[in-house]
Structures are given as structure tokens and as C-alpha cells.
Amino acid sequence: MLESIRVTEKLHWPEQELAKKSVLNAEESLITDSKRSISHLSTGILKDIFTTGTSSYNVLLQSKEEKKHHSQKQPSSTYSKRCRKPSKSPSSSRSKDLRKMKAPVPVMSSGSSIVLPPKPKNKVKRRHFSTLPKPKPQPQLSRSFEKGDDFSGKKFCILTAIKPTNLEKEKLRFFKSDYTYNPQFEYANPSLPSVLAKHSNASDRFLKQSINIMELTLQKYGSYEKFEQATGGSLLSKTRIWSHVRKYMMKEGCMGEIVVHLTEDLLSRASMTVVNGCPTLTINVSTAREHWLEGMLRHEIGTHYFRGINNLQQPWNSWTGRKKHELKPNNPTEEGLASIHSVLFRKDPFLWRAALLYYTVYRASQMSFCELFKDIGKFVKDPNTRWDYCVRAKRGWTDTSQPGCFSKDQVYLDGILQILRYRETIDFHLLTALGKVSYEDVDRLKGLAVIENMRVPHFLQDHGRYMEHLEKIMEVNELTDRELKDLIY
């Protein structure tokens, strides 16, 4: 992996639940505030927090198949025992013993996950979730909260439904045809036509900006691969990823709250989801670069996780509450804010990825798969990477010889440009503290919000520095206030 500098955003979905995970344990002194312990929140609450607004619209959320898998007993899984209430089984006595243990055990990297060492024969003290102070009762989120992000109210994950089951087979046929065969995708759980129709309309509102951003990047670096190598730095080993993540969590004061999983089977570079009731950060090790990793952590933890946790305390923490207070959908604000935080402190904060996703979706609405593959070749040379972008834009469709797209990926650039347009008037502290809300609702809601003990990431503490970097993003991507005011009003 480390020998290669080429990035291929691998488009794979694990067929089984991620079995080996660990909690990043905090030192004794770091866990003092009971409000920061969320281990006792129900799976339903946590799933609703992170169902919307994840950076990849991640497909690792529980599908029907995954739920079946979760229901099976996994006696060998340390993670399952750590995140589930012990049942009345032969293993329950061991669970009781674990609850009495206090001292943390060092974690180590093994295989594709950060895992705890095997259980030793002699008793060893370990930190277990139950040793944390019991949190105060948290407000319950309705399972229909998914409507808050324009999803169907039914217990249905569109991202699982649009996952092709014959992806590798069709990729092989496509490559063997010398890129002339239009894949025919099959789906185990076809999405509801009405839901898919919602996400089949592409916009050209920011098409000019998306093309200009990519052309600027290519003018300076020659190719995306060279830009990535020059600004992203080297790929990191699992040990170094663990070290970076641990330091970041200590900086944000959230050690012991989030499970970390390292994998190569992920559509995006990272995702924040809930597995077995635990907030889970999944990192794609094949794209984890030295100078970009902290930006990813600001995206997933500093934005998605903190806004999700803050949302629990607010009057609009359920679908009923959102409707009562007439909240706008949290996207494109959620993904726009997270995407800005990804590039916030980069030397050259080009908005390349958001621009390419926006452009690819728009072209997919007009082109067949083969035409789209050829078209984006002017921006991305690597055929594997091009394949992945085309699949993202065409997912949900069966016959890709026809024009058609899955438009969700346009939300990143859309959100970024809206936030930059109003950056001088947005209270970014409040935007985080109020939870899963649109920037348009902040002023109206601030008088109704619970502000005490809200969690704001460290990089928002210095307002002046934060605003300087927003200006730099504008400058590097050659965006002007006049241009944005003409487009967004």
C-alpha cells in the first residue's frame, strides 16, 4: 500500500458486520463529565443522530442483511460485549467481572482493525463502557427523524438499496470491453421508485464553479495525482493513523466515546456511523494521507459527531420537534460545513473532491456510463478511480446506457458555496451548538436552544483564525463575493 502514491477510491461494501473494533480508551483523568458519556444511549437514538449528514452517505448503516447478522450471537467478539447490555447467558458472569475493571489496557493494531489484545488467562484490568459515569437521561429521537433529511419515513436505507450486488462482475466486463460496455446493475433491495426519483434530478447551478476549481488545480499541479502527492503527503501506516486519531480525540475531549475501525472496504475516505449502538468512525486506510488525516477528523468528529451529540439536547431532536419548529433540512449545511473543515488548514485548500462529485453527477444525468467515463477522463486519468466516480453517480440505476444519476453527491459543493456566501453573518459556534440545523435557521432558533454544555470543536475557538482560512479557501478557488451573491440569494 505504502509503495503506491496512486489513489483509487475503492468501491466495496463489506458483506459482514465489522466484527473487530475497539474503543479508544481515555486515561482515568480524561473521563470526568457524565454528560460526555453516551455509551448508554440506545441504538435507535444513535442511529438517528448519524443517519443523516455523513460524509459519504455511508452504506455501512444497518441494512436488513446487517440487522440479521447483528441478531446472531457473536461470543468471540470483544466489541459486541462492550457495546451491548449483557444478556442472561453463560457469558454474563464475565460481563459482570468486566464492569468492575477500571484500568485501561493498551490497544494495538492487528489486521484491518484497531483491536484489543486477546483475553489473557490471568485477570487483567480493562476499561469497560460500564465503568464510565452513568449519563443523565437523554431525549429520545423518533425513528422517523430520517424525514428531517428528506429520506422516506419508512425504516429503509436508500444507500443500502442502491448498492449493486454484481459490482465486481460488471467492472470486469467493463474493463474487458475496453470501456465500451455499459454496466447492467442488479440490486438485492431495489429502492422505492418514489425515493430514487427524489435523487435523480441534477443541478447545473454551480457547474461553472466546479469546472473552474478542477482546472485551477490541474493548472498548478499538472494532474490530480501530483496534487494529492504534493499536498496530501505520504500514506500512513495503521499505527500512525491510530496515533493521529488518538491525539485528535484527546484534543477534542472525546476519548472513550467513539469506536475506531480501519478498513479498505469503504466508498469514501471515512464515515461516522453507528454499529451495535456505538458511534463508529471507519477510516479507509488506502486513502489516509499524512497532511489530510486531521481534516478528515475535523469533518467526521469535529462536525458530524459534535453536531449530532448537541442535537440530542435541543427541542428539535425528533422529527416532531423539527416539524413543530419548522426546521429546514440539515443538508446542504451539514455536508458543506464538514467539507469546509476537511480543507480548512491546508496550504492549498482546493475544493477538488466536492467539485468533481458535483460535475460527475451533472454529466451522469445527461450521459451513459461509457460516455461519462470518457468525459471525466480530462480530470482523472486513473481508470479505477474514474470507475468509482461513475458508479457513485450512476448507483441506483439498472441500465446505465441511459442518462440518469443519483444526485446526492452534489450536496457537498452546494453546501460549501452557500456557507461561504454567508460566512460573514453565520455564527459558527451556534451552528455547531444547535445540532443538526441549517445555517438559515440559526438566528431564529437561538432563543429556543439549550446552549449550556454544548460541545464545540477546538478549531472554532479562534474565530479570527477560522475566518482567515475561509478567506483563503475563497482566494485559492478563485471564488468572489460578487459571484456567490449572484448565484445564492
Q: What is the DSSP letter of 289?
A: B
Please state the φ and ψ torsions of residue 233, each to the nearest 5 degrees: 80, -170
Could you tell me which residues come within 8 angstroms of residue 347 by beta carbon, excluding any fewer than 6 positions away? 231
Active-site residue list: 300
Q: How far is Cα 27 from Cα 454, in angstroms, rounded to an integer?
A: 22
- Please return the burial class of 152, using the count of CB atoms within 10 Å of its CB with bins 0-12, 13-18 and 19+: middle
Written as one letter, the residue type at 8 is: T
Whether 114 and 240 have beta carbons less than 8 Å apart is answered as: no
- Strand partners for 259: 23, 280
| Residue recorded with cell 456557507 | 419
Whether 55 and 271 have beta carbons less than 8 Å apart is answered as: yes
Q: How far is Cα 211 from Cα 140, in angstroms, rounded to an integer?
A: 43
DSSP string for 269-297: SEEEEEETTEEEEEEEGGG-BTTTHHHHH
Q: How far is Cα 345 from Cα 248, in angstroms, rounded to an integer?
A: 15
Question: Residue 261 is inside which H or E element, if any?
Answer: strand 259-263
- Please return the burial class of 435, using the count of CB atoms within 10 Å of its CB with bins 0-12, 13-18 and 19+: buried
Distances (CA, A) of 86 to 45, 342, 455, 459: 19, 38, 30, 38
| Residue recorded with cell 453565520 | 426
Q: Is 321 helix (H, G, I), strand (E, B) or coil?
A: helix
- Strand 270-275 vs strand 108-110: parallel, antiparallel, or unpaired? unpaired
Q: Is 488 helix (H, G, I), strand (E, B) or coil?
A: coil
- For the chain, the straight-line distance linking the first and the last C-alpha, in angstroms and rounded, comes to 46
The three cell numbers locating residue 303: 462536525
Number of H helices, E strands in the chain: 22, 6
Q: At what angle do helices 463-476 and 411-421 cross, to 10 degrees?
A: 120
Whether 127 and 104 have beta carbons less than 8 Å apart is answered as: yes
- Strand partners for 23: 259
| Residue recorded with cell 452546494 | 414
The distance between the two most distant Cα atoms of the chain, rounded to a whole number of Å, is: 69
